[in-house]
Structure 1
């Protein structure tokens, strides 16, 4: 079966001006995929707009009205980081619905894996608040659709954006059907995602936070994968793997202080693809979150798609010269917290 990609030019209509999260991000990715010839080897899955019912599984009615009102009255800012333009409500519904479409194509076995190349991103959006460039929580909406509509029993969300997905964590902190694993830079926006947090009530154990220190690179991330992410997901045994993928932990990204290379991103993708094959019949769907150096983003998406396809990818950008931070003691502490010693 082919690898599916969800993309539509409507994603360029969320107008953020000179904001880091701009339409130029997706334009760069599509141009690179076309230039390399990969674009023609993908199965193009059309997105749909998320319905109000889809969004209400995660967000409040007041939140939906706030975004819609801002859009229909000409746009504005939700906060210093988050922009709404006249078409943003529609585009954000297509971002959430596009993530659902990726999962639906996967579950219907029309594709062997799926990648939602969407914007605006979603993982910071909470039930009642847009923030951190995010309007609706795309992956959370798709996860709830999977559980409530598609009949998936258990799913894991792996978030490798450099920022903690506070909105996704909030959405599933009490839900035992979901395991949310986040690898993120500590003490970076939004300042959440402490490693001692693990969920509440019936969702105790639903959250698995891995806040890595600045200057963590390939070695630290892959140690965290090997010792924490993979055993935690294996223990949970999901039926579906969703990935919030941001490329902003790369050493060249302007909004973080991490040292991951494209080789490291490819290794993480390879691990997740293998894990999905081991646990859930290969059911893996990814949705784009951050990544604000357009060259890194374009090459990173290409590398992830190459991982899904089982083909080679290159890293012409190389590795950083700075030394990595050692994360062994942190990984030891998190492993003890979650009984993974």
Structure 2
């Protein structure tokens, strides 16, 4: 039986919105969601509202509690910046917790058989967030939280993360760099922010060869991305036999993105 794709829209503009024209703002989520829900694709979607869930145990496996307290303190003091790019408003900490909790809830829904696929359209984003600090607009690493939930709560032994954001997911890579229960695959522009993601970065210890970085030059298009899927990504996934696949689905490699410098089309993303 065909199952609709679950969609969790978490724009959270009432909690997490910059004051000064920052590129990570609610419009970049609201505009595509409005377009999607006005299109024929809406018939394939099922809007989901996550239940409130406790995430502190999982969250502290991904982030240092001292870092989380720092974010909460900055938020409670009226807001500020964690670095030159990463803003915090009075509601940012609650927004970040909400998105991370939605990721946990989504994994539970899938692994208990209630849903087959869920797209979490949430902010603030997460894949740059490291254990001890946020960066690159990212506060809590939602992808890492989701993967850890599958492993800790459901006993999964093989979780695959595919990250095709134009920027390398440094935080996600570093979280699982020494582990073999997560296969991290990243296709990204290189050299580019944040500077990590060279092909020589393959993991360490038990995690050796469980990180697959595919750095791509500026201007890479559908043919190049899909060629890498055919040559490297798909064979590695078949070999790994993941029990769950999580996609960090940044669309800033799109040909019309003003900053990404890549040439992937909507059709190309669909084929990936």
TM-score by length of 2: 0.94
Structure 1 residue 26: Cα displacement: 1.9
Between the aligned partners of 1:40 and 1:90, the Cα distance in structure 2 is 32
CA shift, 1:8, in A, is: 3.7
Aligned-residue offset at 1:39: 4.0
Matched residue, 1:220: 224
Secondary structure of 1:149's counterpart equals helix
Q: Distance in 2 between matches of 1:20 and 1:226?
A: 33
1:6 aligns with 2:23: no
- Distance in 2, matches of 1:230 and 1:94, equals 32
CA contact (8 A) 1:159 1:182 kept: yes
Which among 12, 22, 33 is matched to residue 30 of structure 1? 33
Task: Check if 1:174 corresponds to 2:178.
Answer: yes
The question of whether the paired residues in 2 share the 8 Å contact of 1:59 and 1:128 is answered with yes
Higher RCO, 1 vs 2 (CA within 8 Å, ≥6 residues apart): 1
The alpha-carbon distance between structure 1 residues 71 and 40, as it changes in their structure 2 partners (threshold 3 A), is farther
**2:47 aligns to what?**
44
Q: Which moved more, 1:98-107 or 1:220-229?
A: 98-107
Query: 1 CA distance for matches of 2:49 and 2:100?
Result: 13
Name stretches of at least 5 consecutive residues in structure 2 with no aligned partner: none
Higher helix share: 1
Partner residue of 2:93?
89
Tell which deviates more after alignment, 75-84 or 40-49: 40-49
**Higher alpha-carbon deviation: 248-257 or 129-138:** 248-257
CA contact (8 A) 1:5 1:45 kept: yes
State how 1:1-341 maps to structure 2 within 5 Å.
Answer: 1-8=3-10, 10=12, 13-17=15-19, 18-36=21-39, 38-39=41-42, 41-47=44-50, 48=52, 51-268=55-272
Report the CA distance shift for 1:12/1:249 in structure 2 as closer, same or farther (over 3 A).
farther
Q: TM-score, normalised on structure 1? A: 0.76
Partner secondary structure for residue 156 of structure 1: strand
Q: Is the 8 A contact 1:70 1:76 kept in 2?
A: yes
Cα distance in 2 for partners of 1:9, 1:219 equals: 32
Give the match's secondary structure for 2:83.
Answer: coil
Give the Å deviation of 1:152: 1.6
- The answer (yes or no) to whether the contact 2:11–2:122 under 8 Å persists in 1 is no
For the structure 1 residues 8 and 164, does the alpha-carbon distance in structure 2 shift closer, same or farther, using more than 3 Å as the test? closer
Q: CA RMSD in A?
A: 1.5
Q: Distance in 2 between matches of 1:74 and 1:221?
A: 42
Structure 1 position 45, deviation (Å): 2.4
Deviation at 1:68, TM superposition (A): 0.6
Partners of 2:79 and 2:88 within 8 A in 1: yes
Aligned partners of 1:49 and 1:95 also within 8 Å: no
1:24, CA displacement in angstroms? Answer: 0.8
